[in-house]
Structure 1
Amino acid sequence: MRIARSVASLGPVDVGDHVCWVVPRPDDFQRTARGYLSDGTHLGDKVMVVGSSSPAWLEFHAPQGVLVDPVVARGGVGWDADALVSLVRQEAETAGREGFRALRVLAQMDRIWPAGITAEQVADQELRLDAVTGGTAAMVVCAYASPGFAPKVLEQAASVHPHFTGHPAMAPSFQMFNDAMDCWSVSGVVDADGAGAFRTAVTGLLRTTATLRLRCDGLQLMDAVGMQTLAEVAATLPGRKVLLERANPTVRRCWELLGFDDPAVPAELVP
């Protein structure tokens, strides 16, 4: 089972990890990216940089490396929403056939996302990418420059990765990520502060499945705002239902006290 966590650096990143890296300064990117890429050569990984030919890449000179610049490839307009997911899946399969341990990806998101990308689009893309990362021999670090992206976009990006690194002030209050087929884990605290990002993530997932399973082993607390948000999202999509699995006694008690254990609410606590 994957476990959400914040990491102090990219050193511990391993196969199956999907990391949101909020980069505060350009010089931080060069130094940290170089170390992350170099680790791949020592461990037998195939390295792929999706972004610009930055100094971190130029100094790396990996013969087994792949560099893809979406801006150049698409004439400066960035990629559509499916391109990164498709590329990672394809290159991970190729790396396996070529005998590499794994595919090690560094994605510069300011070179991938089109200008004006919304939080909803980021959530959709990152959640689908997480499902691919967790199910293949790949690890993906998504580098988000700050400043560079709107605060709402950064908050959304951080909340839909199982791993986060960057300034502690940017760490998400909750994290949602793929746990198994048609099952997603929620960890941390879902309250008024993160309700907007939570609404966006759940809405996107519910549009793709009739029954959304949310595994709550790592969920510490969901307050009244979080519960109301969950119930409202499920109610706005007829025929959809949310199952909350393995919630702790505090969450279960609050759910009951606030009246959400009503059969009319299309969200249910299950063992």
Structure 2
Amino acid sequence: MQIPTKRAGTPSPTAHDHVCWGYRRPAEFAAEAQEFLAEGLAAGEQVLYVAPGAKDFLEGQLRSAGRFDEGLRSGAVQAASVGGTYTTGTVVDPAGQVRLYAAATEEALAAGFTGFRVAADATSLVRTPAQLDAFARYEHLVDRFMATHPMSAMCGYDLAELGADAVAQLACMHPRAHEVATPFHLHGHARDGGAAALEGELDMESRRLWPLALERADLRPAAGTTVIDAAGLGFIDHRSLSALADYAERRGTEVVLKTRLSTPARLLELLDLTGVRVERV
């Protein structure tokens, strides 16, 4: 299947949004999801609401907002249970799930919409360590897709059920997060064709999360070099640089860190770390 890289019609001003939304009451996520979907609908996108419950119940939630009735009649607005969109109770196939959303995006474009937008409560899909690991990998992989295609997503996670640490593992794979404490974001919206973008701060708070995120991102090298767009990085300590050097050695690649910071190059020299090269931007 060949996926188009240009939007049909007028481009959506909110295209390429991908936000992790932590919540403590389902009603909170439902309200924010409706706002997110309404923005896409106003921009000519086809929108999908995914949450626990039967399709009729979810459509009723949307109708109660008073602004999705026409969209539900025309097909511009759709609703689906989590079980109807993902295989609940099992470990997600990251690449397979991206292919499903790529097909949905292609179908939306073919129908004349400007893009495809989904708000999904994914709490039930990350309850076990294996599910969490696979879904974090999926979050980064689908973000790569969204970086070059007109798909947007809001991913909801119940902080009260999952815990802040688990949700942070998912949030750090998004460009944006709400109500979730994550010190950095490693995502697919990189400039100039980089393998990933890196924003935030890498310090003591990141010492466990950063190596885990690197492994899950499975960054794609080009000609033996893995470029990370770190223009949005505010700080990186020696532990995080060592973890990056370890990653480069394991993957047999040279990592190029494009950053505005001057300290990483000095730290690499002082620590005699190899496999990582700094380019100032």
Question: What TM-score do you get using the length of structure 1 for normalisation?
Answer: 0.81
Measured after TM superposition, the shift of residue 259 of structure 1 is: 2.9
Cross-structure match for 1:71:
83
Q: Percent identity?
A: 21
Cross-structure match for 1:174:
184
Native 8 Å contact 1:155 1:172 kept in 2: yes
Native 8 Å contact 2:194 2:228 kept in 1: no
1:229-244 matches, within 5 Å, as 229-237=243-251, 239-244=252-257
Q: Distance in 2 between matches of 1:103 and 1:120?
A: 26
Q: Distance in 2 between matches of 1:160 and 1:205?
A: 8
Q: Distance in 2 between matches of 1:33 and 1:205?
A: 26
1:1-271 matches, within 5 Å, as 14-52=14-52, 53=55, 54=58, 56-57=61-62, 59=64, 60-61=68-69, 62-63=72-73, 64-72=76-84, 77-78=89-90, 80-82=92-94, 83-113=96-126, 115-117=128-130, 119-166=132-179, 170-178=180-188, 179=190, 181-206=193-218, 208-209=220-221, 210-237=224-251, 239-260=252-273, 265-271=274-280
Cα gap change, 1:96/1:217 in structure 2, threshold over 3 Å: closer, same or farther? same
Deviations 1:22-81 (A, max 9, x none): 112222122222222233333221011233344534534423223333425677535622
Measured after TM superposition, the shift of residue 119 of structure 1 is: 4.6
Native 8 Å contact 2:245 2:276 kept in 1: yes
Residue 173 of structure 1 aligns to which amino acid in structure 2? Answer: P
Length, aligned pairs only: 251
Structure 1: tracts of 5 or more residues without a match: 1-12
Native 8 Å contact 2:49 2:119 kept in 1: yes
Moved more, 81-90 or 97-106: 81-90
Cα gap change, 1:28/1:222 in structure 2, threshold over 3 Å: closer, same or farther? same
Cross-structure match for 2:5:
none
Native 8 Å contact 2:18 2:175 kept in 1: yes
Q: Distance in 1 between matches of 2:254 and 2:130?
A: 28
Deviations 1:220-258 (A, max 9, x none): 111011111112222233x23312123421333333333
**Secondary structure at 2:210 match in 1:** helix
Native 8 Å contact 1:173 1:194 kept in 2: yes
**Secondary structure at 1:235 match in 2:** helix
Cα gap change, 1:123/1:212 in structure 2, threshold over 3 Å: closer, same or farther? farther
Moved more, 133-142 or 199-208: 199-208
Q: Distance in 1 between matches of 2:102 and 2:150?
A: 10
Residue 234 of structure 2 aligns to which amino acid in structure 1? Answer: Q
Residue 45 of structure 1 aligns to which amino acid in structure 2? Answer: E
Cα gap change, 1:76/1:183 in structure 2, threshold over 3 Å: closer, same or farther? closer
Measured after TM superposition, the shift of residue 182 of structure 1 is: 5.0
Q: Distance in 1 between matches of 2:235 and 2:183?
A: 10
Cα gap change, 1:38/1:73 in structure 2, threshold over 3 Å: closer, same or farther? closer
Q: Distance in 2 between matches of 1:73 and 1:131?
A: 20
Q: Distance in 1 between matches of 2:279 and 2:125?
A: 39
Native 8 Å contact 2:86 2:92 kept in 1: no
